[in-house]
Amino acid sequence: MTLRVFLFSFLISACLAGMPGTRPLRAEMLDKVAAIVNDEVITQSELDQLLLTVYQQYRQAFAGEELVRKMNEARMTLLQQMIEDKLVYQESQRLKVTVSEEEIKERLEEFKGRFPNEDEFEKILARQGLTLTKLRERYREQIAIRKLQQYQVQSKVLVTHKDIEEYYQSHLADFTQPEAVEAKTITVRKSEEAVKAESEDPTAKKKAEDVLRRLYAGEDFETVAREASEDTMAAEGGNLGTIKRGDLVENLDEALFTLKPGEISPILETPMGYHIFRVEKKTEKKVLSLEEVRNKIRDYVYREKSRALFAEWLDTLKKNAYIAIR
């Protein structure tokens, strides 16, 4: 199927789904096969149900040939995922993985709880082309797939102390907290003419000097910031939040990190204006210890090992399966 034919087919199936008088066409399209996995098929209608949400998002950002290309990429990605899920579910059936009605009910109640009432829940099902029976079956498959993955993969993954220590040593930079400060700021902007000319602005500088005198006289920094600052932080009392070394331009960065908590900077100039800072809190550079990050590393290594083992197991399923994409 070409890109243009695919998008045309998809748009027709999506748009005609709710129109009267289209039952014969819809029935014909429901019979189209997107892929065959062993002795089961994945229909175009099943794929279109998933693609519809993607299309509604993509059409806000893309158009024309780019939309066609993006949708075709999404089609192949989703179809591959559906094929893999079908393979795993088939394997779960072969191994007689059981899913109880209670487990399905629990998933269904959790999903229903996201909606304010039964009407909204039913509207969502209808919009997605689902019935309660189909939703229950989908949950049955998802739970069976998860159980089989846990049995075949996750239960066989072992993360050793050596794994954790080796990861820590090879990723020390990831566990280094840079020097940082929590600070407040007041900005007096230069005029447009001064910015364009890359020159000083005596009027703005004089205003900044007046602000600094008020601060030296003991006025509250947040109050002065709300009254005199000309940046987006003014309404919040000049609160900059946490600044890491290197986040600001060089002269501001250097000055800010020489201040101690509670100290106020001199007037600092940038091409855009004049700035005054007060440091609230300072955190020195620190390398987190292995014990501080051990659990985080264990979780990460476990996920990576699980992902690799699952991919290997899935490849084996694919090699032993008949798969045809139409």
In a domain, 136, yes or no: no
Q: What is the mean pLDDT of residues 298-306?
A: 94
Looking at the 3D structure of the chain, how many domains does it have? 2
Instruction: Tell which of 87, 109, 130 closes a domain.
Output: 87
User: Is 237 part of any domain?
Assistant: yes
pTM given for the model: 0.61
Whether 147 is in a domain gets the answer no
Residue 224 C-alpha from the chain's centroid: 38
> Would 111 be classed as within a structural domain?
no
The CATH number for 215's domain is 3.10.50.40
Helix, coil or strand: residue 185: strand
Question: In whole angstroms, how large is the CA radius of gyration of the chain?
Answer: 30
> Is residue 299 classed as helix, strand or coil in its secondary structure?
helix
Q: Is residue 139 part of a domain?
A: no
- Domain assignment present for residue 236? The answer is yes
CB neighbours of 144 closer than 8 A, spacing ≥ 6? Answer: 89, 92, 93, 97, 99
Confidence band of 122 (pLDDT split at 50, 70, 90):
confident
Where is mean pLDDT largest: 44-53, 116-125, 217-226?
217-226
51, part of any domain: yes
| Residue pointed to by tokens 């179809």 | 79
Domain final residue, candidates 55, 87, 119:
87
Has residue 257 been placed in a domain?
yes
Residue type, 326: R
CB distance 5 to 49 below 8 Å: no
DSSP-assigned beta bridge partners for residue 42? 35
Final residue belonging to a domain, choices 45, 61, 87: 87
- Tell whether the model's pLDDT for residue 1 goes beyond 80: no
Domain that holds residue 234: 180-283
